[in-house]
Amino acid sequence: MSCICDVVLLLLCDSVPLKSISVQVRVQDHVATVSSTLQYVNEEECPLEALFVFPLPADAAVCHFSAKIGEQEIVAEVQDRESARDQYDDAVSSGQQAFLLEESAESPDVFRLSVGCLSAGQNAAVTIIYITELAVQADHSLRFCLPAVLNPRYTPAGSGAGIVSEISSGCGAVPYTLTLSVHVSSPKPISKLESNCSLDPLVFLQSDHTQATVNLSPGHMFDKDFELFVFYQDTHQPSAIVETGVTTAPPGSLMRDPVVMISLYPEFPEEVMSSLATRGEFVFVIDRSGSMGSMMHYGKGAKMRIESAKDTLLLLLKSLPMGCYFNIYGFGSHFESFFPKSVVYNQETMDQALKRVKEMKSDMGGTEILKPLKHIYSQRCHPDHPRQLLVFTDGEVGNTKEVLDLVKSHAHSHRCFSFGIGEGASAALITGMAREGSGHAQFITDTDRMQPKVMQSLRFALQPAVVNIFVDWTLPDGLTVETLSPPINVLFQGQRTLIYAQLKGESSGGSEGTVTVKYSLKDQPVTNQLHFCLKPTEETGLSIHRLAARTLIRSLEQEKRSGAADVEGIRNRMVELSVQAGVSSVHTAFIAVNKDSRQTVKGPLKRRRVLAYDSDEFDDMCYGVPQMGCDDDVYVELDEEVELLSGDSEEYDDMCYGVPQMGIRRGFACFKPESNDDVYGDIDIYDDGFDALAEAAPESQKDLLLQLVSLQKASGCWDLDATLADVFGKTEDELTNQKPAQVDGSVWATLLALIWLYGCKIEQQVEWQFVAMKAASWIGSQKVGDLSQCVCAGNVLLGCQVTKETLGI
């Protein structure tokens, strides 16, 4: 299909008002307080108004917003959104400096900052502080992420074009600097800090290693998310933090009473958790929008995201238990499924699916996930086969809250596991889908391999379900508790569960409370208990109160959207809670006005806009893969404002099929034109651009693990043939000649595969664990005699030293 794109929107400026970003991160146990200061300088000869949009962590509680102009600091107040907007407009129109910070109505992790009436030559430093919980990772670390697209983004005036990133007018250099420092403190000793970016040496502030600082090394280009992983000793110990309230707050209010944050790590019996389910319906939902043609990272051996997703699907399909049901959906501007409805997993259906997986391309336009989800939810579930959705996407959607409401409304029959691929994935979408769908979220960024994280989530999906979850509190006389967090719907082994609760009343004695979590696992009752001190043990400011308020605001917002009768009452409650706690909500905004700045403004305020890509808006307009390198491409500076494409996503999809040969990076169009005439003329792009790009890229080294897995049968066995021998670096004759007489070829081949996995790929066991379990189970079903001699012969042939017991046979 030919794609002709002859219109592009770009407005470049000679100067960008944002000059520097300074970030200070304070980590206290499981919570991070982040202070970001953005320095603006108007170097032009006219007054400016800047509209910037940037992302924050999905569950962040924005609790402070201030602006400093010269030596004067103006601290913003939280007000009703409409009132704040009116106040901002009035101030700017009268020549006063004003600043407005609003949360997006569509997605809770996107904020708009309006900087009004910066006079020529004027400096303004805007400080935003937010608090966020840190997610626990598979390796027991806590993850903090500062999105790279914190670079401000703006919405073009007078259009519904959406949010796009600010970029510079020069290729290869950002127009501002970034400095970042981190201070970590915890009751538990800090083992280490790791990052995907270069850090200065870690400095411990206490001999017991409970406090430490580290800085981002100079020269960071901020071209990818900054990720920090904090490792504590005994991370999985349950804990509780009690925080006192504000004495000046209204009696009985959330901010007046003490609040407790409980971190629980339920312990499950190992003998129960090791028995994985053999039933279920597994629906894989794969993003096939144009941006999935981006590279996973910029390092050596990087693959396209779609290619990594295809490798992951291979592992998933080989790991499913025989007799379960499965289906695969691809989505972009439209969607398609491999089968009209889920099919029974066997050799025939697995082969059909793998053939289609090989043909998958990132050729389906923009990112529209709502339609395929609605279709999946409309399909009748199979009795005794709980449906599990595994959703892979690298994009952001404009209707995040609508998607999350849909997932929540079907959580009783569908569990949802979500995977965010690359730095562009929306944290609100990924974490929200897993939270509302009683599943687990994973983020695959930088050089992460997708397969280990996905297989960990598959293990969660195959584990026995925890049911009848009940939380009970025991407190001294005179104290009562109001739980602020939503009910716990799911528990996973090794995963943390956070509970916020408001403590009401006065204790008549006793300084300890107890929280007990009870549940059933395979019809067996299980009890986990935590005792905690009611006296605050450390200074936490009001971070726990504000996170609790944010949690309660989110619950009220979802209740309002679900069709509650008293919509106005819920809205008023949200505004009241937001104002009292000083945290953001969709119905409030931070407003700051410098009333001493009234000056005569000559002429209209000018907006200096610089355009980069937005992963969804631009997918629909052929900009496809902005993260693809442009080193060998033709750079063309686009210095004219051109009319935007208009129309719905179907029209965009017909015009531009998400092709990666054209992108926008820092204000330049990046092409692979057939001739120089194509640079300024119509650009012909074809669907097979991905194939051409793949052919042009250097051939990566074969992944022997994936090659071995690809040869396994659905039942779990391997055939004894030349392709298997090639994985081992042997010939077919060598394998055949060393085969013990008492076993047939398939048993011998499967034994060799198991020995090779345990002997040569043990560091990747999380990826092949289910493949090996199926193989061991298949060997056990063959009723072969003593296998010890066969294992010894296999070890000699492959140069390994693996015991029969290790193989699980």
Higher per-residue pLDDT: 552 or 272:
552
pLDDT of residue 155: 29
Separation between Cα atoms, residue 613 and residue 426, nearest integer Å: 15
pLDDT of residue 545: 95
Alpha helix (H) residue ranges in 582-719 = 649-655, 677-680, 689-696, 704-710
Higher per-residue pLDDT: 347 or 123:
347
Separation between Cα atoms, residue 209 and residue 203, nearest integer Å: 9
Average pLDDT over residues 229-258: 89
pLDDT of residue 146: 84
pLDDT of residue 577: 95
Q: Which range (388-397, 590-599, 777-786) has the least confidence?
A: 590-599
pLDDT of residue 731: 95
pLDDT of residue 43: 80
pLDDT of residue 175: 59
pLDDT of residue 645: 28
CA of residue 172 relative to chain centroid, distance: 27
3-state secondary structure of 183: strand
pLDDT tens digits, one per residue of 688-702: 333 333 333 333 457
In the structure, what pLDDT confidence band is assigned to residue 598 with cuts at 50, 70 and 90?
low
Separation between Cα atoms, residue 356 and residue 670, nearest integer Å: 31
Residue 686 reports pLDDT greater than 60: no
pLDDT tens digits, one per residue of 706-764: 999 999 999 999 999 999 999 999 999 999 999 998 889 999 999 999 999 999 999 99
In the structure, what pLDDT confidence band is assigned to residue 499 with cuts at 50, 70 and 90?
very high
Percent of the chain with pLDDT over 70: 79
The label of the residue with tokens 């981002």 reads 216
Residue 340 reports pLDDT greater than 90: yes
Residue 669 reports pLDDT greater than 90: no
Residue 676 reports pLDDT greater than 70: no
Separation between Cα atoms, residue 63 and residue 83, nearest integer Å: 19
Residue 10 reports pLDDT greater than 80: no
Best CA proximity match to 102, nearest among 87, 121, 92, 119: 87
Residue 6 bridge partners (DSSP): none
Residue 127 bridge partners (DSSP): 37, 66
Token digits for 405? Answer: 């409401």
Q: Which range (299-303, 338-342, 531-535, 668-672) has the least confidence?
A: 668-672
Rg (CA), the chain: 28
pLDDT tens digits, one per residue of 284-337: 999 998 888 888 876 777 888 999 999 999 999 999 999 899 999 999 989 999
Token digits for 680? Answer: 């300024």
Separation between Cα atoms, residue 249 and residue 113, nearest integer Å: 29
In the structure, what pLDDT confidence band is assigned to residue 473 with cuts at 50, 70 and 90?
very high
The strand order across the sheet containing 634-637 reads: 634-637, 668-671, 663-665
pLDDT of residue 605: 56
Token digits for 248? Answer: 């000046």
Higher per-residue pLDDT: 44 or 387:
387
pLDDT tens digits, one per residue of 144-162: 988 765 333 222 233 333 3
> pLDDT averaged over the chain?
79
pLDDT of residue 682: 31
Task: Please name the CATH architecture into which domain 278-462 falls.
Answer: 3-Layer(aba) Sandwich (3.40)
Best CA proximity match to 728, nearest among 677, 679, 795: 795
Long-range contacts of 37-41 (CB under 8 A, 24+ apart): 37/125, 37/126, 37/127, 38/113, 38/125, 38/126, 38/127, 38/128, 38/152, 39/123, 39/124, 39/125, 39/176, 40/115, 40/118, 40/123, 40/124, 40/125, 40/126, 41/17, 41/121, 41/122, 41/123
Map out the domains of the chain as residue ranges.
Answer: 2-9+614-696, 240-269+471-568, 278-462, 704-807
pLDDT of residue 612: 31
Residue 798, C-beta contacts closer than 8 angstroms, at least 6 positions apart: 728, 752, 755, 756, 759, 760
Average pLDDT over residues 40-67: 82
Q: Which range (20-24, 309-313, 447-451) has the least confidence?
A: 447-451
pLDDT of residue 547: 95
pLDDT of residue 264: 84
In the structure, what pLDDT confidence band is assigned to residue 626 with cuts at 50, 70 and 90?
very low
pLDDT of residue 284: 97
**DSSP-based helix, strand, coil % in the chain, nearest 5:** 25, 30, 45
